[in-house]
Amino acid sequence: MMVDSRQGDPLSPWMFTLLLERIMDPVKEMQNSGVKVQGIQINNLKLADDIDLLEESNSGLHDLLCRLHTEIERYGMHINVDETKTMVFGSRLEENDAVVCINGTVLENVESFVYLDSEFT
C-alpha cells in the first residue's frame, strides 16, 4: 500500500521530517565521525532539506557522504550535486585541494558558505 500527500497538505512537512530523520539515523550513528563542540561529537547539521556534514578529514567526509548517499538512494531520493559543496575550516589549508565526489561528480570546494543567515569562512 502506498500513501502520499498533496503539495500544501499540512502533513507534508511532518512526513518529510520523519523521512529525513530515518535517512540520517545511520549517518548520525557512525562512530568517531564529526567534530567536537564543547565536548559533544557532531557530524551533521540539518534544517528542512539542507544538510551539512561535519568532519575533520577529507577521508572522513567522504565516508559520511557515501553513507548519506546510500541511505538517500535507498528511499528513492538523490543528492543535488549542483548545490552540494565542500569547505575546509581552520588551518588545514593542505586539504583545500582535496577532492570529494558523488557518483564520479567532483563537488565544488568553497571558501565560505551561509547557514541560517550566518556566514562561515
Q: Is the pLDDT of residue 92 over 70?
A: no
Note the pLDDT of residue 1: 41
User: Using one digit for the tens of pLDDT, what is the confidence trace for 12-48?
Assistant: 888 888 888 999 999 988 888 888 889 999 888 888 7
Among residues 73, 36, 33, the alpha carbon closest in space to that of 53 is found at 33
What is the spatial distance between Cα 20 and Cα 71, in angstroms, rounded to a whole number?
Answer: 10
For residues 121 and 112, the answer to whether their CB atoms sit within 8 Å is yes
For the chain, give the percent of residues with pLDDT over 90: 14
- pTM of the prediction? 0.78
Domains, the chain, ordered by start: 12-120 (3.30.70)
Say which range, 7-11, 16-20, 27-31, 72-76, has the weakest mean pLDDT: 7-11
Question: What are the angstrom distances between the C-alpha of 46 and each of 17, 53, 61, 115?
Answer: 10, 9, 16, 10
